Amino acid sequence: MAHPQKAPLRSVTAAEQTDLIRVARASSERADRVARAKALLAVAAGARFSDAARAAGRRSGDGVAQLVVRFNQVGLAALDAGHGGGPPRQYGAAARDRILREFRRPPDREQDGTATWSLTTLQRALRRAPDGLPRVSTATILAVLWEAGYTWQRDRTWCATGTARRKRRDGTIVETTDPAATPKKS
């Protein structure tokens, strides 16, 4: 025997209904969003959770029940995927904005020790800053950059081939050049 529905779907507004239909019919939407929209539309039409799950291509009515609870609380934001498991996120919107602000700032050669950002130099700068993030990891920085639409390339073509800046024991910085850099490059 099926369990009774503990949290029935609240009344769906006309604007929400229109958005749900648009998402359910869109071929360019993510498949998980389309399935959630179809399930919510089926429940709104009076279907049981298990029938709505089948209509959306899912197996479990329990998942639809959880979706309905989320929809009742947050509305159309329930179509978006939630946190996918693992430890909870430690950095919120303010920390993400701080990482992006530091990334968009051109690095200072003297202060940051680089001409362009790498994940490690960006991490060092964020950890050193008075308003920075003292425990931020390169994985967190990379995730924030990906989320913001940036890609991080492995090749570092900005480096001058065959030259390096070395710090001597007395603290002076000298630029060294490898005379065989061009033949090695070929």
Q: What is the pLDDT of residue 22?
A: 94
Predicted confidence at residue 117, as pLDDT, reads 86
pLDDT, tens digit, 9 for 90 and up, residues 76-100: 999 988 777 777 778 888 999 999 9
Examine the pLDDT at 158 and tell me if it is beyond 50.
no
Contact 67, 36 (CB under 8 A): yes
* 155-169 mean pLDDT: 68
Q: Which residue has the higher pLDDT, 183 or 78?
A: 78
Lowest-pLDDT choice from 89-93, 101-105, 148-152:
148-152
| Residues whose CB is less than 8 angstroms from the CB of residue 182 and which lie 6 or more positions away in sequence, other chains included | 161, 162
CA–chain centroid gap for 111, Å, is 29
Residue 4: predicted pLDDT: 65
The strand pair at 173-177 and 163-167 is best described as antiparallel
- Answer yes or no: pTM beyond 0.85: no
Distance CA 16, CA 11 (A): 10
- Other beta carbons within 10 angstroms of residue 64's beta carbon come to 28
Residue 91 gets the label, from left (phi > 0), alpha (psi -120 to 50) or beta, of beta
The whole-number pLDDT of residue 143 equals 87
Residues 24-78: pLDDT tens digits?
999 888 899 999 999 999 999 999 999 999 999 988 889 999 999 999 999 999 9
Q: What is the per-residue pLDDT for 157?
A: 41
